[in-house]
A and B are shown apart, each in its own frame.
Chain A
Amino acid sequence: MTNYLWIAVSWLWVGIPLAWGISQTIAKVAILFH
């Protein structure tokens, strides 16, 4: 159980900044298709 929790924490550690970066990029991409 601890192992799976640790896996989730690890992926969130890298996933949250990446998701934030992608969302910032998509916001710029949206301008292209306006």
Chain B
Amino acid sequence: MAGLFSFLNRENTVAKPGFNRWLVPPAALSIHLAIGQAYAFSVFNLPLTKLIGITQSSSDDWKLTTVGWIFSLAIVCLGLSAAFLGAWLEKVGPRKAMFLSAVCFSGGFVVASLGLSLHQIWIVYLGYGVLGGMGLGIGYISPVKTLINWFPDRPGMATGMAIMGFGGGAMIGSPLAVGLMGHFHTATSVGAAETFLCMGLIYFVFMMFGVFSVRVIPAGWKPAGYVAPKVEQKLITHYNVSANDAIKTPQFWLLWFVLFLNVTAGIGVLGQASAMIQEMFQGRVTAAAAGGFVGLLSIFNMGGRFVWSSLSDIIGRKPTYFCYFFLGAILYALIPSTGKMGNIFLFVTGYCVILSMYGAGFATIPAYLRDLFGTQQVGAIHGRILTAWSAAGVAGPVLVNYIREYQISRGVPSSQAYSVTMYLMASLLVIGFFCNLAVKAVDAKWHVATEKMGEAS
């Protein structure tokens, strides 16, 4: 049995001479485009509250809050699996990690499908939430690390490319789910269970392409003509720091808060984008147009990951994060004014730039980690920092919803209740700006000789 799966072993994935590195980004994208479906999970929310009533929720149907936990659980499991399995994934290599991710992610859909058929929410939690969430975490970090190794000359662009896929996954997952549910919908079924089963199988096949085509660099490989910069740059190390030591450094925790604050602010405004544009421009923006607005944001969320992260290769990681926090804080603070002015164009433009920087925050962080801690265990360190995402996934919506409810209970009109939220998000970005400002090179006492850490390219 072990022999059957030997093709998954790291030593069988080393690239042969003449291998073209541009084959690796599609392998990484086939994983990220699949697991990015998680961002589109909300399309299932309403149908899952009508599994029994079909046309409308019956008293036996699940409540929206019950269904909402499926996604939250998946994001928490993403962070936990990335944090705890990161070091192991470094050791076993990308092919085994990507295979395991495909099995967990697709298996999560299949198990959840069973839960939907039996109308047992705990099976759905266990399936899409726990198993699928583990697939997200395992699949997220491994392709990123592999791309960093293949593109030492452009690490920002490389990580941006993979993580752009995660943003783009929602654009595929959402219409795919809606189309399949429409196809399977009958008088006695909303078609959700069948859709989950189908999506599990489709994503498994799609991810297998990445599993078979991914390769790791041979020992000592460098791109043709590439010479590592000889001039020492303060924030780009040629040394390595182990994952266990990295979490003892202030740099790790500063970047943890950089990611946490950027994501908290982004999630906070993303969740209320549709309602906000409709209430700020009452009578001018319909629900359908608001849906288009959210679609536009997802394009900027995806594109920003590649564009900003590629830019960070030129201007440096620290200045790029200064842009996210400085420009972001100004735009967040200005959004309520554009609403008061009644200027939809400025509102939409501001929101699009904000969302481009939200996505870019995810995409640039692996390259920032690689600069500070070296490439050797950057995957494991990346996995640990993703717990900031899980924390932000809880903090962002809670913060926004709590502030909004509090204001409305104090008699503030709903169209104006967004202003305080936006100002608060802007202040979070100001804190993030200072966290980024405090990032300095890692102390030499944490540098470790490569052979001591074991092979993990």
Contacts and interface: CB of A to CB of B under 8 A. Distances in A.
Interface of A: 3-4, 6-7, 10-11, 13-14, 17-18, 20-22, 24-26, 28-34
A28 B172 contact: no
Interface stretch (B125-133, B293-301, B333-341, B410-418): B293-301
Top 10 nearest A-B pairs by Cβ distance? A21-B171, A32-B292, A10-B26, A21-B172, A28-B295, A24-B175, A25-B295, A14-B29, A31-B292, A28-B292
B177 to A, nearest CB: 11
Given A7-B20, A22-B171, A14 B296 contact: no
Interface of B: 18-20, 22-23, 26-27, 29-30, 33, 165, 168, 171-175, 206, 209, 213, 285-286, 288-296, 298-299, 348
A7 B22 contact: yes
Contacts of A20: 172, 175
A18 B296 CA distance: 15
A7 B106 CA distance: 26
Given A21-B175, A31-B292, 18 more contacts: A3-B23, A4-B20, A7-B20, A7-B22, A7-B23, A7-B26, A10-B26, A10-B213, A18-B29, A24-B171, A24-B175, A25-B295, A26-B295, A26-B299, A28-B294, A29-B295, A31-B288, A32-B293
A14 B30 contact: yes
B168 A10 contact: no
A10 B291 CA distance: 32
Contacts of B290: 32
A30 B292 contact: yes
A16 B161 CA distance: 16
Contact of A18 (B171, B213, B285): B171
A20 to B, nearest CB: 7
Contact of A13 (B30, B294, B348): B30
A17 B387 CA distance: 30
Most chain B beta-carbon neighbours within 10 Å: one of A20, A28, A33: A28
